[in-house]
Amino acid sequence: GEDVEQSLFLSVREGDSSVINCTYTDSSSTYLYWYKQEPGAGLQLLTYIFSNMDMKQDQRLTVLLNKKDKHLSLRIADTQTGDSAIYFCAVSYSSASKIIFGSGTRLSIRP
């Protein structure tokens, strides 16, 4: 069935790069997303990638997709305290109707 997995926690030093990893099981996933959730808030769409792409860069964010291994990663360059949040990896299919979310990775920043 559909499953998206990510590690629960990541701690990085301010100014370093953060890399959040995700694996998914369904190879027919068409759209792959990264969402950010800050305390008490909804989900903010950070970026997305189509399954026919390998990489997407958007300012400090770089998404890498390894379709063979069903592995998605999000790299945040020059991590700042404002990047502290929970990051959700998510996938959907051609209809983009239903999104399957991972459990979220809590990113904490050390001074």
Partner 1 sequence: KAGVTQTPRYLIKTRGQQVTLSCSPISGHRSVSWYQQTPGQGLQFLFEYFSETQRNKGNFPGRFSGRQFSNSRSEMNVSTLELGDSALYLCASRSHRTSGGYEQYFGPGTRLTVT
Stretch of residues binding partner 1 (CB under 8 A), selected from 12-20, 53-61, 74-82, 86-94: 86-94
Which of 34, 85, 88, 107 touches partner 1 (CB under 8 A)?
Answer: 88
Give the residue from 19, 40, 33, 39 showing the smallest Cα distance to 100: 33
CA 33/CA 45 separation, integer angstroms: 8
- Phi/psi for 29 (5° steps) reads -60, 130
Whichever of 59 and 97 has its CB closer to partner 1, that residue is 97
Residue that is written with structure tokens 């990510």 in the block = 6
Residue 43 within binding range of partner 1, rule CB under 8 A: yes
**What residue ranges bind partner 1 (CB under 8 A)?**
30-31, 35, 41-45, 48, 88, 90, 92, 95-104
